[in-house]
Amino acid sequence: MARLVFGMNQSLDGYVDHDAFAPDAVLFRHFIDQVKGQAGSLYGRRLYEIMAYWDDDHPEWTADEREFAEAWRAHPKWVVSRSLKSVGPNATLISDDVEAAVRKLKAEVEGEIEVGGPKLAKSLGDMGLIDSYRIYLHPYVTGGGAPFFIGPRPKLRLVDSERIGAEAIRLTYVPA
């Protein structure tokens, strides 16, 4: 049975914004290894469209960026969207009965599935489908953007914390 884990970089004031800050080299290496070990990713439309950047090679990429792209391309992706009509390579579109589709996915897939996108995480959390939350906390105050948590969540319990790289702390919570 798969475990759904919602994890994203977050500012000190609670926002996720890939344009406001980026992982350092150590945290980026952590993300490469994480993607290699995951069973796949479950994205909302907006984050999937951002992540689709990794589908195309870019000549200015570093070796680590190429390695991340290869790992990301290799693992399965499921995209929840009512507006998209198609998705890219190694991706499956989920447009109807999201709860049933994700429950089936959890039952059929072994390992960890990353959940990407705060709106999708809220919906899946409301359905009781998120197994844990990983906040990669960065020392930035953005003053706005998409909040990591959209609306209240049931009580969470801290189960792990780890400093990764020079600036980030990973906090792992599970529903209490």
**6 and 43 in contact (C-beta within 8 Å)?**
no
Q: What is the pLDDT of residue 113?
A: 98
In the chain, % of residues over pLDDT 70: 100
Q: What is the pLDDT of residue 131?
A: 97
Cα separation of 171 and 134, whole Å?
A: 6
Q: What is the pLDDT of residue 127?
A: 95
Q: What is the pLDDT of residue 73?
A: 97
Q: Of 162, 161, 160, 156, give the one whose Cα is nearest residue 174.
A: 156
Across 46-61, average pLDDT = 95
Q: How far apart are the first and last CA of the chain?
A: 20
Buried b (16+ CB within 10 A) or exposed e, 141-153: ebeebbebbeeeb
In the predicted structure, residue 141 carries a pLDDT above the cut 90:
yes
Q: What is the pLDDT of residue 18?
A: 82
Q: What is the pLDDT of residue 43?
A: 97
Provide the sign of the torsion angle of the four alpha carbons 128, 155, 33, 19, taken in this order: positive
Q: pLDDT by residue (tens digit) across 59-97?
A: 999 999 999 999 999 999 999 999 999 999 999 999 999
Class of domain 2-175: alpha beta
DSSP 14: S
Amino acid at the residue 100: A
Domain boundaries, the chain: 2-175
Cα separation of 67 and 62, whole Å?
A: 9
In the predicted structure, residue 154 carries a pLDDT above the cut 90:
no
Which neighbouring-strand residues pair with 174?
157
Label residue 151 by pLDDT band (50, 70, 90).
confident
Provide the sign of the torsion angle of the four alpha carbons 14, 16, 21, 27, taken in this order: positive
Kind plus residue range of the DSSP H or E element containing 170: strand 168-175
91 CB-contact burial (10 Å; exposed 0-12 / middle 13-18 / buried 19+): buried
Q: pLDDT by residue (tens digit) across 108-136?
A: 999 999 999 999 999 999 999 999 999 99
Q: pLDDT by residue (tens digit) across 1-50?
A: 999 999 999 999 999 988 888 899 999 999 999 999 999 999 999 999 99
Cα–Cα distances (Å) from 133 to 39, 60, 95, 155, in that order, read 17, 33, 24, 12
